[in-house]
Amino acid sequence: MSSLNLDDFTDLIERPDGGVRRDAEARRERQIVPPGALGRLDDLGEWLAAAQSAVPVRPIEQPRVVLFAGDHGIAALHVSARPAGTADRLVRAVLEGATPAAVLARRLGVPLRVVDMSLDCDPDGLPDEVVRHRVRRGSGRIDVEDAITLEEAETAFRAGVAVADEEADSGTDLVVLGDISVGGTTAAAVLVAALCGTDASVVTGRGGQAIDDLAWMRKCAAVRDSLRRARPVLGDQLQLLATVGGADLAAMTGFLLQSAVRKMPVILDGVVSAACALVAQRVAFRAPDWWLAGQNSGEPAQAKALDRMALEPLLDHGVIVGEGAGALLALPLVQAAAALSAELPEAPEPEPELPASEAPGAESEAELPE
């Protein structure tokens, strides 16, 4: 039995300030550009005002990319285009600046943090700041065994909470959340199918490397078999993460919940972060009010999860590479919304109309020359 009481998050998480949002809406109506002319940027600016409890909105000055990393045992069934147990190669590429997410983060001037939770490699080959939260090496094959133990799930969840606190305490004002994994989209599909009550084929996509038809059929079968193991533990979110999730997904769920507690907005990237957000929503129903969906990755499980949470993706560019790249593309849009909301001047008040007799240049009949 876990000593972690997830119900506490229901009481700890408040909604963004509705009164401040109304003030932001009123201010927007007074600005020189007509309301609605900026489309969704208006809504984003008002959402940020409520999240910050500030009118006008403060600029996003210290964003941060946080990527949770892990290997999933289900990848041994060849459900991914990448070989099982090779997520550490992706981590090294990110750290070397040689991935789309790393390039975008560098270009946008956003620090990038990788948190190893369960990579299947020797931790000595990675920097200490990457591996210090690691729970275990790899995870179980979720179609036939638990991903991790309940104790490991609690440790991973608490690690995610700790990372959120570290970011909030350091002044991070918005997080771009993603994952680095092999087999992670399969585990995510199982979580979404279980929580939404759907079949495997409805949620199974082709992953970040667009697997072929044969691999997709193997993935469907893996999701189906894993789903049978997930359904009996649906009432216990931590046990669900232990059974069919993994240390990285448990950590991401803890991170999302604690970010909401700390009132730190988060942009979700792809299907893995969406699945963890769906689990977090089951824990605390107000938590999704603190999150944005950065992009539509095309994964059916992501679409299902976002629909359940009433989150509409900001972008739809077909980016499937993962690692936070799609959400990073949405960051300038959020920053633009903040700038427009804060810096557009208000329209001048119209001058009151004077009676005709008092209008400038008007003369009474008595003053007219004969």
Q: Which domains are present in the chain?
A: 62-331 (3.40.50.10210)
Q: What distance in Å separates the CA atoms of residue 42 and residue 44, rounded to the nearest whole number?
A: 5
Percent of the chain having pLDDT more than 90?
Answer: 83
For helices 271-283 and 247-261, what crossing angle results, to 10°? 60
pLDDT digits (tens, 9 = 90+) for 7-18: 999 999 999 999
The confidence score (pLDDT) of residue 322 equals: 84
- Which region among 31-40, 165-174, 256-265 has the lowest average model confidence (pLDDT)? 31-40
Q: If you average pLDDT over residues 227-256, what whole number do you get?
A: 97
| pLDDT over threshold 90, residue 176 | yes
Percent of the chain having pLDDT more than 70?
Answer: 93
- Please check whether residue 253 is in contact with residue 177, taking contact to mean a CB–CB distance below 8 angstroms: no
Half-sphere exposure of 161 (CA within 13 A, CB side): 14
Give how far Cα 5 sits from Cα of 39, 68, 162, 194, 243, Å.
41, 23, 16, 22, 18
Residues β-bridged to residue 177: 66, 268
Q: What distance in Å separates the CA atoms of residue 51 and residue 64, rounded to the nearest whole number?
A: 17
Q: What distance in Å separates the CA atoms of residue 277 and residue 257, rounded to the nearest whole number?
A: 8
Query: Pick from 58, 4, 17: which is nearest to 341 by CA?
Result: 58
* Residue 356, C-beta contacts closer than 8 angstroms, at least 6 positions apart: 362
The confidence score (pLDDT) of residue 358 equals: 63
- Residues belonging to the active site: 323
Element (H, E) at 118: strand 112-118
Q: If you average pLDDT over residues 262-275, what whole number do you get?
A: 97
The pTM of this model reads: 0.92
The confidence score (pLDDT) of residue 2 equals: 63
DSSP conformational letter for 344 = S
Q: What distance in Å separates the CA atoms of residue 290 and residue 112, rounded to the nearest whole number?
A: 21
pLDDT digits (tens, 9 = 90+) for 92-146: 999 999 999 999 999 999 999 999 999 999 999 899 999 999 999 999 999 999 9
The confidence score (pLDDT) of residue 53 equals: 95
Query: Pick from 256, 260, 227, 297: which is nearest to 68 by CA?
Result: 256
The confidence score (pLDDT) of residue 326 equals: 93
Q: If you average pLDDT over residues 314-324, what whole number do you get?
A: 88
Query: Omega of the bond prior to 313 within 30 degrees of 0, cis?
Result: no
Q: Please give the distance of CA 85 from its chain centroid, rounded to a whole number.
A: 25
* 270 vs 348, more confident: 270
The confidence score (pLDDT) of residue 57 equals: 94
The confidence score (pLDDT) of residue 210 equals: 72
- Please check whether residue 142 is in contact with residue 74, taking contact to mean a CB–CB distance below 8 angstroms: yes
Q: If you average pLDDT over residues 342-363, what whole number do you get?
A: 71
